[in-house]
Amino acid sequence: MRAYQDMVYSTAVRLVKNEAQAEDISQDVFLKAHEHFDTLSTSPTAGGWLKTVATNLSLNHLSRYRNRWRFFSEFRRDDGAGAEANEPEIEFAAPDTFFAGVDADERRMLVEEALGKLPEHQRVPLVLYHFEDLPYDEIARKLGVSLAKVKTDILRARAALAQILARSGTRHETFSA
């Protein structure tokens, strides 16, 4: 448990954006792990199993307690989504100079804080794609939405995250000077 508790908790908190709920989910993950202790204690893939369970329990939590279907409803063609094909791909990564002079802990904190500012319908697919390494089609299946919806939400989340990080970087430079 000690070896994986940070990973399980950070997976849950990224998805549900609530520390208390993430703690509850983490407890549930380790209760499930206890039920499978005989198998997991000798398994080299125990960490992957725990991460998958944490992801699934977090998604289940969002579904039950946050009315997730309202957030992930299919987008309509009349909402301007058709323009997405003409828009250039927005890079997720910040410029090389963005995090200059920022240590790894502060960088992680800035990204976590920025993720927390994204709306759930953008944050969840972005976290599943970039932090959980799930492919678009699997994210669409897990969330019960179209592949186009997942791609659009991730594209918009990248743009929003870049803007949030740019504002954070400006504040960081102001306070550091």
Between CA 49 and CA 29 the distance in angstroms is 10
Between CA 95 and CA 131 the distance in angstroms is 19
Residues 27 and 47 in one domain: yes
Domains held by the chain: number: 2
| CATH code (residue 162) | 1.10.10.10
Q: What is the pLDDT of residue 176?
A: 41
Look over the chain and give the mean of its residue pLDDT values, rounded to a whole number. Answer: 76
Residues 87 and 164 in one domain: yes
Structure confidence by residue, pLDDT tens digits, 122-173: 999 988 888 777 889 999 999 999 999 999 999 999 888 888 887 776 554 4
Reported confidence tier of residue 102, pLDDT bands at 50, 70, 90: low
| CATH code (residue 35) | 1.10.1740
Between CA 148 and CA 150 the distance in angstroms is 5
Residues 59 and 102 in one domain: no
Exposure of 174 by Cβ count < 10 A (0-12 exposed, 13-18 middle, 19+ buried)?
exposed
Q: Using CA atoms of 70, 76, 164, 131 in order, give the dihedral in degrees to the nearest 10.
A: 70
Residues 94 and 164 in one domain: yes
Average pLDDT over residues 93-109: 58
Flag whether pLDDT at 85 surpasses 70. Answer: no
Range of the domain at 51: 5-66
**Do residues 121 and 70 lie in contact, with contact meaning Cβ atoms separated by under 8 Å?**
no
- For the full predicted model, state whether its pTM sits above 0.75: no
Residues 50 and 85 in one domain: no
Flag whether pLDDT at 94 surpasses 80. Answer: no
